[in-house]
Structure 1
Amino acid sequence: MRFGVLGETRAWHDDGTEVMLGGPARRALLALLLARPGEAVPAGRLIEDLYGDPEAGNALQAQVSRLRRAVPVEHTPAGYRVAAAPEDVDAGRFERLADEGRAALRAGDPARAAVLLREGLGLWRGEAFADFPDHPAGARLAERRLAAVEDRIEADLARGEPTGLVAELRELVAAHPLRERARELLMRALRAEGRPAEALAAFAETRQMLADELGADPSPGLAGLHRELLRGGPAAPPAPLTGFVGRDEDLAAVARLLRTARLVTLLGPGGVGKTRLAVEAAAAHPGEVCFVALAPLRDPADLPRAILAALGLPETGLLAPAAADPLARAAAALAERPPLLVIDNCEHLVEAAAGAVWRLLSDCPDLRVLATSREALGITGEHLWPVRPLPGDAAVRLFADRAAAVRPGFIPGDQVRAVCRALDDLPLAIELAAARLRSLDVAALAAGLDDRFALLARGSRAGDARHRTLRAVVVWSWDLLDEPERRVAHRFTAFAGGATAASARAVCGGPGVDAVLESLVDKSLLEVAGGRYRMLETIRAYAVEQPGEDASRAHAEHFLALAQTAAPHLVDEGQPHWLGVLAAEHDNLLAALRWAVRAQAVDIALPLLGSISTYLWIKGVAGAAASLAAELLRLPPRPGLEEEYVACVLVAGGDRDQVHAAARLLTASRSRRYPFLAFRWLLAHAVDGDLGAAFALLTAERDGPHPWSRAAAHMMLGFPELAAGRLEAAEREFAEAAASFGDHWGKAMTLDALAGVAALRGDDARALALTDEALALTEGLGAVEDRADLLCNRGDFQRDPAAARADYEAAAALARRAGSPTYLAAALRGLGDAAFRDGDLAAAGRLYRDALDRFDPAWMKSVGNRVRALTGLGRIAAAEGDPAAACARYLEAVEAGTTVGATFESARGVLALAELALGEGDAEGAARLLGAAAALRGVPVDESDVASSARAVLGDAAYTAAYETGARLSHADALRLAGLHEAAVNRALAVTP
């Protein structure tokens, strides 16, 4: 007899027929007896649990008597028992399977673990001990069930099967918010689906919840995963879906070459296994690996951006100027921490690939590149490794391995070797043929191949014979498809970078499309991994040539709908999620845009570009669409799509007339489908000479219809107030923006601005708290460069020197990985400050000079750090007894602040000049300079050590008079008092609001 307590209590005879137990009292009694199968339960405990009345012995005996008619209940001196082993009860079987599943998972066999855990979890029919819900065993089993669900999810992740796990884990986290393992698995599942921004957002939510509910920090496991996500890092090679057969010698040889050669190219025909060999070689490489897939690319100009994307880097940060040369940015990142760069499928872009590889190797002395191609790159120092067809025995093993997947228990016979030989022992051809054993036997397979090759493989089998062999087997595989399969396969060629199941259904359409997709997977025409379907490029190239329905418009319309759904959420609290969704479909979105532009389908192209423009800017990848936007500008405009036209101008980097036309359209329009547009225009063009247009647009936005636009206008209006030294007005604008932004990006940038104001007021504690809040928000965006900037700022606000140094070092590491010279310069400046505080003047000088060599002097975000570095060099000169050199450096710092109108930054140099004056015995001059610094900064600065010393020398009245003399000066006169030459003063007046 078998028993069940994982749900309502039930019993079954050995033949499977159910035993009728009777009412709830008898089921509750049986549940209590089955809590420990085979063990006696004292009558007193049963009475207490069932009735709570010591006098209920007769009632218990009556229930036992009735239960005995259905179930063998025995009476012993120790109490009542059911003669059952743990394995006879579903709870016992579940616990055994859960234990075995966990053991298999820990032993590195996730496939077996998943099978065992699914079987165990399948035994549950409801809540454990549902007929006795207060039994302690029920709570224990519920906990075991949750752990088994988590184990099963971990096994699925380890098998590379994340499909559906995110939704399941979100439900699990919602039901059990304090289970950190579930939250960690959610982060891992999001990362596996290519949604790192959402994974970071999930961590931020977890950290806040733990702090609020428990006053605790995340566990070491969660914190470690968080660090991995923040590091981001290069794209890993694709996870193999099948075993690796017959390439041990190749693998060893490639590993030897990579130890000595800087460029190794795996050379061979299509389908011979170059990519798979590269993936295995990369897996065996001891260091970091970055995998760059060139197969989806069509335009050589996209290759540098593909390398940047594979490195996990945008072309620019959120507020940084766009990189003029993406390849230079990639080289800067690779030079600092070079991985093994695997560049796959170079043949169709061989000249561009050769040029890029040559430059990267030249600029990065420690870089190594492993390329795959059908022809050599032709670069000096290139080492070629020809990848040949499999040896005969290995070809048979590969066939048998793939055949067993569709025909379990398959044993290869003599005919298999003949089939492999006919296929020239090409791995891809063998896999395609073996997949057909689901419906053919080996003899029919061999006959079909012979017939097909007689038609398709005419002429000599020398030279390009292997290319013809592969094509022949692809043709043969295609011809064996039925009509629905051909239709779906042909329509699938519209995708770039694969497709989710939902997208594949929408674009491929038709009845039974899910079954057809699975059939194409079975026949090796499609692969599925990471929740996405993918078609091999060799098969796609053939399928595109075949007659059939062109799905390009359906594909474009589908991704237009996705982009339009996402667009409003890119400026609200859903920002991290929707950025992740669009990032996962980046290639498809650009493919849809490319088709719409080339087909002159302006009704699709303009709305699509408008809808993805915010995504492109926030993720720093607008350059990928710039040439398409420029083409689109040459097409006839459409009435009612003025905002989309503006997006097009801004993405394309239009000419001056187009830029100013865009500003007029934005200022006149009351609609804001894309509220990021005005902000982007101001960021890119507000300093090109037409300040009137900029302020007209700002005014329009501040009173505009969209809350994000209004918030952005307040933020932008705060900066000229800050530059003019009007701190209270700046703080009001920033505070209004912070209260109005609903998205992570806007709020983080405004909190950063408010932190700067707090620091100017001397409130470092508030500045630190605001910066921490901004950092938490940027975690959800994966904004590497901007995190580096915020970490530098936090270092400046730290009162603990060790904490400040740690922040600067972390910022430097992020900036190096991002290939960002400006943010690296900021971190080096901070480390220079730390070295100066430690008394290491030589190290501080080296760091300051290194920083100055890297800054972009025309960029606003560089100015403050440039001023600090110059001031630091001045302090070193003063400490070394050279006041003239110190004065010259301080004046450089004052002038550096004026170049973009940031006179509040110039105040730092003026304060240093005051210190220098005091050291030379001019206390009155020091007091006037302190007042001038206050005039430039907009906040009193007479609480410093310099002020105290000057007051002690002069007395209160004389000090106050001198200080007030400086404080009443205009900005121009304050700069003149500091010693700035007239030409620099005039330049400052020209750019200061």
Structure 2
Amino acid sequence: MAERADGDVCLVQLAPVTADAEVAPAVLAALGIRDRHGPELPDPVERLVTALAGRELLLILDNSEHVVEAAARLADTLLGSCPGLRVLATSREALGITGESLVPVSPLRLPPPDARDPLGYPAVRLFADRAAAVRPAFAVTPENVEQVVRICHALDGLPLAIELAAARLRTLSVAEVAARLDDRFRLLARGSRTALPRHQTLRAVVAWSWDLLDEDEQRMAGRLTVFAGGATAEAAERVCGLPEEVLFSLAEKSLVEAVDGRYRMLETIRAFCAERLAEAGEAETMREAHAAYYLDLAIAADDHLRRAEQLEWLARLDAESDDLNAAVRWATESGRLETALRLLAYCACYWWMRGHRTVSTTLAAELLERVGDAAPDGLKEEYAMCVLVAAWTGVGDDWLAERLEGLRPSLPTDYMPAKLEFLTLLLAMFTGPPEGVATPSQLRALTAAVPMSPWSTALTGCGYGFMLQESGEPERAGAEFERSLAAFRAMGERWGTMLALSGLADLAAEQEDHVTTLARAKEAMEVARQLGALADVAESLCRCADALARTGDPERARTDYERAAELSRRVGSTDILARAHCGLGEVALAVGDLAAARTWLERAREECPAGWYSVNDLRERIAAALAAVSGR
């Protein structure tokens, strides 16, 4: 209890104190002020005021969170009566007195994924030091550095957790420690025997903080663990069913941290609190509430994504992306297939615009395995969207190829989505025009009787343009693209703007107007960058490279194709990757490097999706270039 009073500094260790009434006596003991003998003892606070009134002293109240109210009252009284006194209190919760300055103590800094010298970061350095103490030959090497960094990240940079993990190297290898972190509380269950009991195991450290919470705070802490990427106050209140003031209280007690308006738990704390949620029997209920909240958010966001406010809503969904994915995954795995299909369908526009192809394809494929070969009753559009999302990174098996091929005929001939506006675009892109529609006039006749939103009207105008272009009417096609461009710009809708600009660029390329192609492609690329749509940036780079290659600048063309390939690979867009590799093959062919040309073109042929209507021209282009290589 009494550590020492050393000159102008007095350290008071409050961890062993068990009651508010023991705080002032603990300070007296640390100062070396003994109790006087007699029938009536002076009040401890009064004795402290008398003893400290004329002294210059720094009083450190260490580990005061469990007696924070008593520590706050004592500090306030002493500071008001002793002008030479300064108080430093360590606690998970602020004292909350006038004049207090808060200095948050963050976890140790962790190396980013691309760090050249992980040992330059305190978390890794602490692990290395403590590991060497129990295994003298230990050193961080190129062979184990990835696992060491993984351990430090998994433990959130918490010093005690890292020390406990390093201590396990007495009996385990670094790889074994890293592999067992999913059960971190069992793994890190033995520390120094001389430490305070609550510092001897990782579970005891977190349990100490948990036990200081009231019932509502414990409920909120447990329920908050259903969020994968943290939560806004509004989301936490709705999903957890408790007032936001309870969340703010957890932040004040350092159980959650507030970062940019979101409340997050360190993973170690989250794992402990998730156990408490399961013990309370609330995990299933909270998961359902979480999925319902994110379904409502996805539905509310969907329309806004195709209006002037789309950047604001894209950013909002970016912040919620981990939880949207988690909600789809939970609904799929738990058999809530209607919820999963609706969630996925209303996330599709966001995923497409942001280029989140790989994760969304996986989610859709897993859901299709559960749903089977046919759409559930009342969910035909949602099922169609799921099939299309599953096909985004290329058709991976015969079953999915059959679903994609049979999708359009399974819908009414005059099909226009009643619920999912964005489905209009994806159906045309993946499966071509509606059944029986082969000319622009037939498309006009089909859509004339269908009520359409301004966005769908502008999009259909692009459809007219593409059909007119294909039927050899470039002037009429250009007029349709220009009308659509004007409509999308009037709405402030950037993705549609980019689509119309891309159509104009391709039309100019067919007419060998490469200056216009380059200008339109650059305009489209700038809009794609505003949207953060990496797949569309890559596609625009391919158009720029096409124009550069055809105007005698193969080096700049090669650079743009390479950048496009890197971006499309990053987001899992195999159609754009195939287009970029086709372009690299054509550049190699143009400069006479036939071996490189064949390699690039054969790779492009393998990557080109097998079941997409929109890549028919690319398949023909690859075949023509390969024929040219063989003819040399």
Secondary structure in 1 aligned to 2:157? helix
Question: Deviations along 1:78-104, whole A, 9 cap, x unmatched?
Answer: xxxxxxxxxxxxxxxxxxxxxxxxxxx
Counterpart in 2 of 1:683? 429
Change (3 A) 1:699 1:547: farther
Change (3 A) 1:262 1:752: farther
Counterpart in 2 of 1:845? 594
Contact kept? 2:581, 2:603, Cα under 8 Å:
yes
- 825, 831, 834: which one pairs with 2:581? 825
Structure 2 residue 509 is matched with structure 1 residue 777: no
- 789, 802, 805: which one pairs with 2:539? 789
Contact kept? 2:465, 2:478, Cα under 8 Å:
yes
TM-score by length of 1: 0.40
- 556, 576, 579: which one pairs with 1:806? 556
| Offset of residue 388 of structure 1 | 8.4
Change (3 A) 1:657 1:791: closer
- 606, 614, 622: which one pairs with 1:866? 622
| Offset of residue 682 of structure 1 | 2.7
Contact kept? 2:514, 2:551, Cα under 8 Å:
no
* Range 608-617 or range 690-699, more displaced: 690-699
Contact kept? 1:490, 1:548, Cα under 8 Å:
no
Letter in 2 for 1:678: T
Distance 1:236 1:646 in 2: 43
Counterpart in 2 of 1:67? none
Contact kept? 2:210, 2:218, Cα under 8 Å:
yes
Letter in 2 for 1:766: T
| Offset of residue 636 of structure 1 | 11
Contact kept? 2:462, 2:480, Cα under 8 Å:
yes
Secondary structure in 1 aligned to 2:305? helix
Counterpart in 2 of 1:725? 472
Distance 1:816 1:723 in 2: 30
Distance 1:773 1:251 in 2: 55
- 706, 711, 716: which one pairs with 2:458? 711
Distance 2:152 2:504 in 1: 58
Distance 1:267 1:766 in 2: 50
- 247, 261, 266: which one pairs with 1:517? 247
Structure 2 residue 373 is matched with structure 1 residue 643: no
Distance 1:236 1:558 in 2: 38
Structure 2 residue 214 is matched with structure 1 residue 482: yes
| Offset of residue 568 of structure 1 | 0.5
Counterpart in 2 of 1:734? 481
Counterpart in 1 of 2:178? 373
Letter in 2 for 1:485: E
Letter in 2 for 1:715: C
TM-score by length of 2: 0.60
User: Equivalent residues in 2 for 1:49-448 (5 A)?
Assistant: 244=123, 246-249=126-129, 256-258=140-142, 261=143, 264-266=146-148, 276=157, 373-375=178-180, 418-420=194-196, 423-424=199-200
Letter in 2 for 1:541: A
| Offset of residue 560 of structure 1 | 1.9
- Aligned-residue CA RMSD (Å): 4.8
Change (3 A) 1:693 1:730: closer
- 571, 574, 592: which one pairs with 2:327? 592
Change (3 A) 1:681 1:509: same
Contact kept? 1:718, 1:731, Cα under 8 Å:
yes
Larger RCO, structures 1/2 (Cα 8 Å, 6+ apart): 1
| Offset of residue 634 of structure 1 | 5.9
| Offset of residue 569 of structure 1 | 1.9
Identity %: 31
Distance 1:637 1:531 in 2: 39
Letter in 1 for 2:179: R
User: Equivalent residues in 2 for 1:609-628 (5 A)?
Assistant: 609-618=344-353, 619=355, 620=357, 621-627=359-365
Counterpart in 2 of 1:534? 264
Distance 2:506 2:240 in 1: 53
Distance 2:389 2:545 in 1: 35
Contact kept? 1:711, 1:737, Cα under 8 Å:
yes
| Offset of residue 262 of structure 1 | 8.0
Change (3 A) 1:794 1:786: same
Distance 1:685 1:518 in 2: 50
Contact kept? 1:745, 1:781, Cα under 8 Å:
yes
Contact kept? 1:525, 1:539, Cα under 8 Å:
no
Question: Deviations along 1:262-297, whole A, 9 cap, x unmatched?
Answer: 8853499x999756399xx9xxxxxxxxxxxxxxxx
Counterpart in 2 of 1:763? 513
Question: Where does the alignment leave 5 or more consecutive residues of structure 1 unmatched?
Answer: 1-155, 161-232, 282-368, 378-386, 393-416, 425-468, 874-884, 890-993
Distance 1:548 1:276 in 2: 31
- 233, 236, 255: which one pairs with 1:501? 233
Secondary structure in 2 aligned to 1:533? strand
Distance 1:500 1:794 in 2: 41
Secondary structure in 1 aligned to 2:293? helix
Distance 2:232 2:561 in 1: 36
Secondary structure in 2 aligned to 1:525? coil
Secondary structure in 2 aligned to 1:276? coil
Distance 1:665 1:702 in 2: 19
Change (3 A) 1:682 1:731: same
Contact kept? 1:576, 1:781, Cα under 8 Å:
yes
Question: Deviations along 1:864-888, whole A, 9 cap, x unmatched?
Answer: 7536745874xxxxxxxxxxx7xx3
Counterpart in 2 of 1:77? none
Change (3 A) 1:262 1:764: farther
Contact kept? 1:798, 1:804, Cα under 8 Å:
yes
| Offset of residue 667 of structure 1 | 4.7
Question: Deviations along 1:815-853, whole A, 9 cap, x unmatched?
Answer: 1354364144144246437xx5xxxx45x4344223212
Question: Deviations along 1:22-81, whole A, 9 cap, x unmatched?
Answer: xxxxxxxxxxxxxxxxxxxxxxxxxxxxxxxxxxxxxxxxxxxxxxxxxxxxxxxxxxxx
Contact kept? 1:816, 1:824, Cα under 8 Å:
no
Contact kept? 2:409, 2:435, Cα under 8 Å:
no
Letter in 1 for 2:232: T
Counterpart in 1 of 2:7? none
Distance 1:799 1:661 in 2: 38
Distance 1:637 1:737 in 2: 33
Distance 1:868 1:277 in 2: 59
| Offset of residue 600 of structure 1 | 5.8
Distance 1:864 1:502 in 2: 52
Distance 1:771 1:661 in 2: 32
Letter in 1 for 2:597: Y
| Offset of residue 812 of structure 1 | 0.3
Distance 1:664 1:609 in 2: 20
Distance 2:229 2:447 in 1: 38
Secondary structure in 1 aligned to 2:126? coil
Contact kept? 1:699, 1:713, Cα under 8 Å:
no
| Offset of residue 483 of structure 1 | 0.9
Change (3 A) 1:529 1:790: same
Counterpart in 2 of 1:692? 436
Change (3 A) 1:588 1:571: same
Secondary structure in 2 aligned to 1:762? coil
Question: Where does the alignment leave 5 or more consecutive residues of structure 2 unmatched?
Answer: 1-103, 163-173, 392-399
Change (3 A) 1:246 1:622: closer
Secondary structure in 1 aligned to 2:242? coil
Change (3 A) 1:739 1:660: farther
| Offset of residue 692 of structure 1 | 3.0
User: How many residues matched?
Assistant: 465
Counterpart in 1 of 2:279? 546
Change (3 A) 1:374 1:788: closer
Rg larger in structure: 1
Change (3 A) 1:798 1:815: closer
Counterpart in 2 of 1:898? none
Distance 1:372 1:748 in 2: 49
Question: Deviations along 1:514-546, whole A, 9 cap, x unmatched?
Answer: 3x3243235443344454322324224323323
Question: Deviations along 1:643-695, whole A, 9 cap, x unmatched?
Answer: 334434544566857975665546556664322213212322339xx953788
Letter in 1 for 2:469: L
Secondary structure in 1 aligned to 2:558? helix
